[in-house]
Amino acid sequence: MSTPVIDVRGLSFAYPDGTEALDDVELHIHQGERVALLGPNGAGKTSLVLHLNGIHRAARGTVEVSGMPIDDANLTDIRRRVGLVFQDPDDQLFMPTVRRDVAFGPQNLGIEGAALDQRVDAALRAVDIADLADRPPHHLSLGQRRRAAIAGVLAMDPEILVLDEPTSNLDPATRREVASLVVRLGITLLVVTHDLPFALEVCERAVVLDRGRVVADGPTRALLADVELMRRHRLELPFGMVLAG
């Protein structure tokens, strides 16, 4: 087995007010995997993913990305390797045009001229919004803004893409487009989502987190078909959707 690109061992974390968010979490993701991170509200999902690019630091345990521990010496490289796309694209889009937003990260790495143009154009094409490059982000639909936020992360040439609730508030057609897009990217993927059909469609593997602990890890279909597991951890498939294990 190859070295995991995300290697979380014995991770525990509490907020300053004493709220324990993570308790002895183990998570190992290998290159090319697409993994759904599932769990009820307050399970610790966001707390976990914020450790993957150093926004949070482990109180106990270790977090490594591509064999590198998350520390001050590696932080810049790790944040390039782990692309985090937030639930609200407006948290990431702030420039006058989509093109300038997508260029912002690579420019901060010192990439300029033709190399910058090539990287930006490739990212825009990857998410099918090349025709929107010169539009102001705030004039776009939610689905288009979400694509622009993903393009901005892809322009950093990450090894791992972390998506936080990528289908939140999307209409069914746009949701299908996002599912097709993320599969087509061919990148290691961690998806935090309450959209269980989306997890099933996009991710071969799922990890269930509840009360800060990993309580299940396995094939997505098998976990979602486990009625008792789903009930115990307050996860529900849409009405009428029944899966066989």
What CATH number does residue 179 fall under?
Answer: 3.40.50.300
Tell me whether residue 241 is in a domain.
Answer: no
Tell me whether residue 88 is in a domain.
Answer: yes
Contact 212, 41 (CB under 8 A): no
Range of the domain at 59: 6-232
- The per-residue pLDDT for 245 is 57
Contact 137, 101 (CB under 8 A): yes
Say which residue the tokens 């759904």 belong to. 36
CA 120 to chain CA centroid, nearest Å: 20
- The per-residue pLDDT for 216 is 97
**From residue 156, how far is each of 71, 103, 198 by CA, in Å?**
20, 9, 25
What predicted TM-score, i.e. pTM, was given to this entire model?
Answer: 0.93
**From residue 167, how far is each of 176, 195, 243 by CA, in Å?**
9, 7, 21
Split into its structural domains, the chain has a count of 1
- The per-residue pLDDT for 58 is 87
| pLDDT tens digits in sequence order for the chain, 245 residues long | 578 999 999 999 999 898 899 999 999 999 999 999 999 999 999 999 999 989 999 889 999 999 999 999 999 899 889 999 999 999 899 999 999 999 999 999 899 999 999 999 999 999 999 999 999 999 999 999 999 999 999 999 999 999 999 999 999 999 999 999 999 998 999 999 999 999 999 999 999 999 999 999 999 999 999 999 999 999 988 766 777 65
- The per-residue pLDDT for 238 is 79
What is d(CA 155, CA 69) in angstroms, rounded to the nearest whole number? 24
User: Which DSSP category does 112 fall into?
Assistant: -
**From residue 146, how far is each of 52, 81, 142, 198, 202 by CA, in Å?**
21, 20, 6, 16, 17
Closest by alpha carbon to 199, among 88, 38, 87?
A: 38
Tell me whether residue 168 is in a domain.
Answer: yes
Tell me whether residue 109 is in a domain.
Answer: yes
Tell me whether residue 244 is in a domain.
Answer: no
